[in-house]
Amino acid sequence: MRPGQVELRVAYALFALLILESFLVAWLVPRPQAFVVVLPPLATLGVAAWLAPRVVRLVRGHRELKDAYAHELGFARQLMESVEHGLTVTDEDGRFVFVNRAYARMLGVTPERVLGRTPFEFTLPEDHETLTQARDQRDLGTTSTYRTRLRRPDGSLLEVAVTGSPRWLAGRIVGNVAAVVPLRELREAGDGNDRSF
């Protein structure tokens, strides 16, 4: 059944009951007073009957738009999960609102453990200045690419290349979108020799 059909049928059933009531009032009330009693409800019913299909079209349009949005969102998530490199989305406060499974695998955790946290929590403190500069560039509306090192819970490091772009909504920046590509694994946090496994 199409969206809004149930509401339309219920509305017409109520209109039918109200019209029946109006006719019963007109039949039982003496003639001169009947018109005074029945005309306002009939006028209201006429306006409601005229308005009902328009409201149903509005409700139907809203539902179809909501369904289309959910479908597109599902499709976008499927695309983001299908790529092999990491994809992240952060909000205005720099907190992750989305990470794909590939990025979570790079960190050695589940995506749920990353959401709500910031990139600084997974990056070596020595690289925080690089992150700050890149975020400042994106806040100005430009895309930036840089290298940084991610720290996993087991202490191992992964060097990555990050390309981040501002996320726009209604003409203003509301966060960042980043692609994270793994470059090489490093032995430990204090290793300055860039030895790979």
User: What's the rounded Cα separation, in Å, for the pair 176 and 93?
Assistant: 10
User: What's the rounded Cα separation, in Å, for the pair 102 and 180?
Assistant: 9
Per-residue pLDDT reduced to its tens digit, 47-104: 777 777 777 777 777 788 888 877 777 777 777 777 888 999 999 999 999 999 999 9
Amino acid at 137: Q
What average pLDDT does the segment 140-158 reach? 93
What average pLDDT does the segment 120-148 reach? 93
Q: Residue 108 above 50 pLDDT?
A: yes
Q: Residue 190 above 60 pLDDT?
A: no
Res 170: pLDDT: 87
User: What's the rounded Cα separation, in Å, for the pair 8 and 57?
Assistant: 10
Question: What are the Cα distances from residue 179, in Å, to 36, 52, 84, 102?
Answer: 72, 49, 10, 11
